[in-house]
Structure 1
Amino acid sequence: MNKVRYWAVVPAAGVGRRMNVDIPKQYLEIKGKPLIEHTLGRLLDFPHLERIVVVLDREDEYHQSIELMRNARIQLAEGGDERYHSVLSGLRVLLDMADPNDWVLVHDVARPCIRRSDLDWLVNQLHEHPVGGLLGSPVTDTIKKAGSDDVVSETVDRQGLWHAMTPQMFRLGMLHDAMAKAIADKMPVTDEASAIEYSGKQPVMVEGHADNIKVTRGTDLALASLYIEQQSKLIEVS
């Protein structure tokens, strides 16, 4: 029996409209280098990954100036109109080089603070699981539900609620088929786990650190910079 291997897909074809900037947010700088370089550097430092498929917009020219993108373990693929199209494109590339039973970790390019310890923990917790799962953090805030007029209709019980993060780790063949079916059925696929759920399977939540934030707005850049600096100090101490 062949050894199960690990691969990654990083959808990076978005344009970051909510950032109100002229370039895609993955190329904005954090501590002197592009966000995407931080994210890919974290993944490249994770030795379990055979290869990382980075899915870019077909007209993306910014990546050409980033030396890290020429790393032998990085392969480029062309993205689609929505994130889920880009993920499916990356999965199709992997099917040409990987076994359907291999694991694939899908990670947001806009999460540059992912910790090595969380990657280790995710793989440790899921490597023998029949389905897979995702990093997340339990909801600790009070959650309100409001209508279209922003008037609160109820306070939601937070017991069992999680903030979903990435990476999300599933068997390559299973995830490919689940994503393809959900897209064909025009189901809203906000993350990989939702496609797996739609296929009738149940992913596992794996608790990770809350500093694995997604850079969505301008203020998130400063917060990500702070977290990266704090994490580097932790490494120096250890």
Structure 2
Amino acid sequence: MSGTELWAVIPAAGRGTRFGGDVPKQYLEVAGRPLIAHALQALLAHPRVAGAMVALSPDDARWPGWKQWNGKPVMRCVGGGERADSVLAALRALPAQVDDNTLVLVHDAARPNLRDTDLERLIAVAEAAEHGAILAAPVRDTLKRAGEGDRIAATESREGLWRAFTPQAFRRGALIAALEQARIDGVVVTDEAMAMERTGARPALVEGREDNLKVTTAADLALAEYLLSLRDPR
């Protein structure tokens, strides 16, 4: 496949406190490899992704020391206390040849089941869209708003609502500016699209597979193991 090179960014400085345990969730093993290894494989298997920048905690002693994957560079930098801080640090640390117009894919370290078909469609849409694009899926469940004592207060319309996945794909310069502005404004953004939205951008939604799950609980880890076993029975 021809086209300009892309780069990947993986924020992995978090400790996965919601998961529990002593091992940060990105290093939990599933299908024989840490979650972050599956994330790197999914990204760097794409012919146009030239390399990856991983943002790590300054005291991370579990990083395996990978310097390349599929013959492509894997670089690391020091991340921050929030996801946005780590993404911003990684964007700034990209090699000099990665200019502000380069499309960058930001992907969760604990999202191991990204399919190449979803990645291909995301890249195609993001390159054509003015404000980038994200993988997502429409909300299909009925939504309830909780009131006092966890009793149902209301049923909310799911019309037009989507669940945001990763990767999320934006031009490097625009995303840096959006994340920097959010920091100045004191706003903690929970994903890159939120930062872009605050600037007036309207990223495109690319419907992706529902099994592109993010591991946040022990049940998620078991499900990820099962899903990956379906892809490679070995």
Equivalent AA in structure 2 for residue 187 of structure 1:
V
CA distance in 2, matches of 1:36, 1:84: 18
CA distance in 2, matches of 1:155, 1:99: 46
* Offset of residue 44 of structure 1: 1.5
Q: Secondary structure at the match of 1:17?
A: coil
8 A contact 2:84–2:188 mirrored in 1: no
* Offset of residue 149 of structure 1: 3.3
8 A contact 2:91–2:172 mirrored in 1: yes
Equivalent AA in structure 2 for residue 52 of structure 1:
A
1:200 match: 200
Q: Deviations over 1:185-213 (max 9, x none)?
A: 01130100000000111111100000000
CA distance in 2, matches of 1:96, 1:124: 24
Equivalent AA in structure 2 for residue 27 of structure 1:
Y
* Offset of residue 148 of structure 1: 5.3
Structure 1 residue 151 and structure 2 residue 151: aligned?
A: yes
Structure 1, 90-99 or 111-120: larger mean CA deviation: 90-99
Structure 1 residue 70 and structure 2 residue 67: aligned?
A: yes
Give the TM-score taking structure 1 as reference length.
0.92
Q: Deviations over 1:202-226 (max 9, x none)?
A: 1111000000000001111110011
2:217 match: 217
Structure 1, 87-96 or 104-113: larger mean CA deviation: 87-96
1:36 match: 36
8 A contact 1:95–1:172 mirrored in 2: no
Structure 1 residue 169 and structure 2 residue 169: aligned?
A: yes
Equivalent AA in structure 2 for residue 126 of structure 1:
A
Where in structure 2 are there 5+ consecutive unaligned residues? none
* Offset of residue 231 of structure 1: 2.5
1:45 match: 45
CA distance in 2, matches of 1:35, 1:126: 25
CA distance in 2, matches of 1:26, 1:188: 22
CA distance in 1, matches of 2:6, 2:42: 15
Q: How many residue pairs were aligned?
A: 229
8 A contact 2:136–2:208 mirrored in 1: yes
1:134 match: 134
CA distance in 2, matches of 1:169, 1:148: 39
Q: Deviations over 1:53-77 (max 9, x none)?
A: 011101111113x6xx221421101
Give the TM-score taking structure 2 as reference length.
0.93
The structure with more helix, counted as a fraction of residues:
1
1:182 match: 182
C-alpha distance 156-178 of structure 1, shift in aligned 2 (>3 A): same
Equivalent AA in structure 1 for residue 136 of structure 2:
G
* Offset of residue 42 of structure 1: 1.3
8 A contact 1:4–1:101 mirrored in 2: no
Where in structure 1 are there 5+ consecutive unaligned residues? none
8 A contact 1:58–1:78 mirrored in 2: yes
Question: Where do 4+ consecutive residues of structure 1 move more than 3 Å?
Answer: none
CA distance in 2, matches of 1:194, 1:20: 27
* Offset of residue 151 of structure 1: 2.4
